[in-house]
């Protein structure tokens, strides 16, 4: 099993993306195994939905608050799961060309939570329009969040489509969003509200990163910790003269690696054109030097 997971991670090109897909598949299989066992003992219908999905009742939701998290990895049938996972895989990989795995996770969870919030608000403020709703389930809001963010980050990225040819990512994303709202994964106004929530969160998140603000930025170490142990401080080593030479070489590679990370972060945040000519030359030199040291 571990070998399969490792291969799947390499195929996805991301531990976070592969973990999200595996989590969705695992919940689907566990849910239907429970349903089959329950049906054999006299239970009727898919009774797991009421415990894993957001109910179409604000008062009941307050007693099942955990469903705001579990619904985004729960699907009611195989086709529902298949479409969401295919879109998650495609647009997740495109997003990771400019943002990190941490951003991908933020977009998935944030889009799902904001979608659940708008779903509950739509039920509470317009119950007549959501009379057909029973519960909210599926990763659609989370996937639409990632889809919108990828389209805003790299709108002109060309994607090859079967029988169509190359199309810019922004048009592919718009087409997928329209398909979602007209029927694929839709169904009632409450569900559409959740989809809107996912698009709004993803678009807002991506626009924030393009303006230089990173909502998913890790907390910095406290000033006291920085003063006590500077980031680039060389460790004290009791080594021979030959050992000192090795330590200096290692420190130089560490400094090069840190600078390379800084330049790559700038590319993720603002794109490659944001680099100055000197920074581009520095990026090429650092890449070649580190590759040479690793061989």
Weakest mean pLDDT among 54-63, 143-152, 268-277: 268-277
pLDDT band at 233 (very low <50, low <70, confident <90, very high): very low
95-151 pLDDT, tens digit each: 998 899 999 999 999 999 999 999 999 888 876 655 556 789 999 999 999 999 999
Mean pLDDT taken over the chain: 78
Contacts 24+ apart (CB under 8 A), 84-90: 84/24, 84/138, 84/139, 84/140, 84/143, 84/185, 85/21, 85/24, 85/25, 85/139, 87/143, 87/147, 87/176, 88/17, 88/20, 88/21, 88/24, 88/139, 88/142, 88/143, 88/146, 89/12, 89/17, 89/21
pLDDT band at 235 (very low <50, low <70, confident <90, very high): very low
The distance in angstroms from the start CA to the end CA of the chain is 32
State whether residue 126 is helix, strand or coil: coil
Tokens 């909502």 correspond to 215
- Where does residue 229 rank: exposed (0-12), middle (13-18), buried (19+ CB within 10 A)? exposed
Q: How many CA atoms lie within 13 A of 102 on its CB side?
A: 9
Weakest mean pLDDT among 13-27, 131-145, 179-193: 179-193
Three-state secondary structure readout of 145-182: HHHHHHHHHCCCCEEEECCCEEEEHHHHHHHHHHHHHH
At residue 192, the pLDDT reads: 83
Average pLDDT over residues 58-78: 92
Weakest mean pLDDT among 117-126, 194-203, 262-271: 262-271
- Verdict on whether the full-model pTM lies above 0.85: no
Helix, strand, coil content of the chain in percent (nearest 5): 70, 5, 25
């Amino acid at each position: 099993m571990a070998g399969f997971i490792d291969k799947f991670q390499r195929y996805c090109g991301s531990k976070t993306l592969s973990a999200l897909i595996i989590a969705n598949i695992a919940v689907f299989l566990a849910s239907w195994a429970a349903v089959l066992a329950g049906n054999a003992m006299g239970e009727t219908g898919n009774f797991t939905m009421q415990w894993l999905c957001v109910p179409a009742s604000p008062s009941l939701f307050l007693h099942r608050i955990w469903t705001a998290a579990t619904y985004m990895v729960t699907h009611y049938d195989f086709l529902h799961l298949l479409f969401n996972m295919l879109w998650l895989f495609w647009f997740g990989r495109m997003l990771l060309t400019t943002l990190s795995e941490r951003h991908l996770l933020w977009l998935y969870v944030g889009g799902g939570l904001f979608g659940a919030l708008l779903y509950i608000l739509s039920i509470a403020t317009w119950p007549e329009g959501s009379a057909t709703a029973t519960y909210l389930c599926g990763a659609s809001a989370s996937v639409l969040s990632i889809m919108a963010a990828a389209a805003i980050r790299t709108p002109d990225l060309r994607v090859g489509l079967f029988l169509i040819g190359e199309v810019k990512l922004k048009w592919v994303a718009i087409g997928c969003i329209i398909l979602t709202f007209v029927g694929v994964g839709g169904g009632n106004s409450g569900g559409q509200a959740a989809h809107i929530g996912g698009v709004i969160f993803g678009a807002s998140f991506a626009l924030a990163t393009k303006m230089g603000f990173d909502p998913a930025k890790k907390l910095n170490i406290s000033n006291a910790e920085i003063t006590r142990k500077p980031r680039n401080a060389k460790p004290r080593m009791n080594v021979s003269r030959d050992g000192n030479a090795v330590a200096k070489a290692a420190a130089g590679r560490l400094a090069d690696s840190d600078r390379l990370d800084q330049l790559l972060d700038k590319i993720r945040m603002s794109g490659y054109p944001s680099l100055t000519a000197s920074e581009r030359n520095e990026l090429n030199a650092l890449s070649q030097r580190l590759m040479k040291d690793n061989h």
